[in-house]
Amino acid sequence: MKRGWFLLIAVIFPAVSGCSHADQGPTPDRIRQDTAKATRTAAQDAKATVQGVVDG
Reading phi first (left if > 0) and then psi (alpha if -120 to 50, else beta), residue 27 is in beta
Q: Tens digits of per-residue pLDDT, 23-51?
A: 678 899 999 999 999 999 999 999 999 99
pTM, full prediction: 0.53
pLDDT of residue 15: 64
SS3 content of the chain, % helix, strand, coil (to 5): 85, 0, 15
Q: Are 43 and 50 in contact (CB under 8 A)?
A: no
